[in-house]
Structure 1
Amino acid sequence: MSDAHAAETTKQRAQQMLFGDPLPDLDSETGYRGPIACKAAGITYRQLDYWDRTGLVSPTIKTATGSGSQRLYSFRDILVLKVVKRLLDTGVSLQQIRLAISQLAAYGVDDLAQITLMSDGASVYECTSDDQVIDLVQGGQGVFGIAVGRVWREVEGSLSELPTSRVEEEVVDELARRRAKKRRSAV
């Protein structure tokens, strides 16, 4: 092992000790159910459902497929949910939030952590460097900013205490089973 690699490994271990246990490495089949996503993002289930139905933020691991099925959200999905919540709390219109979220769709989780969203209340600006933030503020446009990296750490802290779930065979609740049976007998 090279000295540089050993130093980096030591640095990573020190960071883990400073910030507590990191999130488990999640595969593409493991995520967080709706109620957990709501708790971590600080939103209601009604908001979560509306945002999914309108396409603002939908789960990337598993979508709802009817009565009794459950959504499964990735860490990135929950990060975006929390950013949307913050933007709404500061008075940004849902139309502007949709534009901002569509711009962020191309970024991976690590890339999102490097972005600061700035807004003047009417528009949302994406800044990827300190110079861009300063230019925006000096131009009189930026009123507030959301450092996505900071939101990332908040979500990570919230989720570290909450359970994950795996995509399973479609679990149908009793009500959904009765509805399906009633439909079959009506035909």
Structure 2
Amino acid sequence: MAHNPPNEIVSAFTEEQASRLTGITVNQLRYWDKTRLFCPQFAATDRRAPFSRVYSFQDIAALRVLNVLTKQYSVSVQHIREVAKRLCSMDNGAWARTTLYVLKRKVNFVDPADGKQKEIVSGQYAIGIPLEKVVSDTKRDVQQMSERSSSMIGTVETHRHVVSNSPVIAGTRVPVKAIKSFADAGYTVEQIRSEYPTLTREDIEAAISYKSKNKAA
């Protein structure tokens, strides 16, 4: 399945992140992959391996469209498969200009070249889904997901899908052990921050004290 990102964002998303952004359960994503209805852009041959399914930004945008079509408009699985192929083959310009129209559970694309609706019966009402709006909404939600909440500042967390369950600064992928290695080498908090400018003083201090507590234990 060809993929051409509809924007300048270069991102990769785990199954859990894809589920959060699209509203599709992880089990459903895996089923769609297994049945080849929709396969992630970055997929390992062995799907049992960690991070064997990684979704691109376009994957997320396309999945959001498919989720709306199946849940709100009851579009058939067979037709969803056709729509998925079409979405994943479109380039940047087509995503920016194309609007989908749903009529009687059938999805029709407006041809970006001539602006004409394909397979729409004249005079019948069709519901429009501008893909440009889907992309902008997806960008917004990705940005919100990537932003750290105030409750994460100065805290440490572990997650089985982040750095192999090693302790990291909450809301980031920065390992606590990396911060500790700088501290052990004599770096001050401010010097460590210069190495990790996205972290706060509280983050650095939390990482150092977290390791100290574990040693004391």
Scaled by the length of structure 2, what TM-score is found? 0.55
Q: Is the 8 A contact 2:103 2:120 kept in 1?
A: no
Among residues 19, 28, 42, which one is paired with 1:47 in the alignment? 28
Could you tell me which residue of structure 2 aligns to residue 181 of structure 1?
Answer: none
| Alignment-derived partner of residue 84 in structure 1 | 66
Partner of 1:132: 116
Of residues 93, 103, 107 in structure 1, which corresponds to 2:76? Answer: 93
Please say if 1:34 is aligned against 2:18. no
1:11-55: CA deviations, max 9, x gaps? xxxxxxxxxxxx9842xxx51111111111121112211111111
* SS of the residue 1:161 aligns to: helix
**Rg larger for:** 2
CA RMSD of aligned residues (A): 2.9
State the partner residue of 2:95. Answer: 112
Structure 1 104/141 Cα, relative in aligned 2: closer, same or farther at 3 Å? farther
Give how far 1:117 is off.
1.0
For the residue of structure 1 that corresponds to 2:61, the secondary structure is helix
Q: CA deviation at 1:110?
A: 4.2
User: 1:158 and 1:94, CA in 2 relative to 1: closer, same or farther beyond 3 A?
Assistant: same
Partner of 1:73: 55
1:95 Cα deviation from its structure 2 partner: 0.8
Give 1:166's aligned residue. Answer: none
**Native 8 Å contact 1:56 1:98 kept in 2:** yes
Partners of 1:111 and 1:91 lie apart in 2 by 25
Q: 1:54 to 1:42 in 2, by over 3 A?
A: same
Q: Which runs of 5+ in 2 are unaligned?
A: 1-6, 147-162, 166-217
Structure 1: how far apart are the matches of 2:125 and 2:79?
15
Aligned equivalents of 1:62, 1:121: Cα separation in 2 = 34
The TM-score, its normalising length taken from structure 1, stands at: 0.63
Provide, for residues 54-113 of structure 1, a one-character-per-residue CA deviation record: whole Å limited to 9, x for no partner: 112211123472434221110011111101001102111111111122223321244223
**Residues 37 and 81 of structure 2 are in contact (CA less than 8 Å); yes or no, is this contact kept in structure 1?**
yes
Amino acid at match of 1:75: F
Aligned length: 140
User: Is 1:147 matched up with 2:118?
Assistant: no
Percent of residue pairs bearing the same amino acid type:
28
Residue type of the alignment partner of 1:126: F
8 A contact 2:62–2:88 mirrored in 1: no
Question: For structure 1, which runs of at least 5 residues remain unmatched after alignment?
Answer: 1-22, 164-170, 174-187
> Greater RCO between the two (CA within 8 Å, min separation 6)?
1
Amino acid at match of 1:58: C
Which structure has more helix as a fraction of its residues?
1
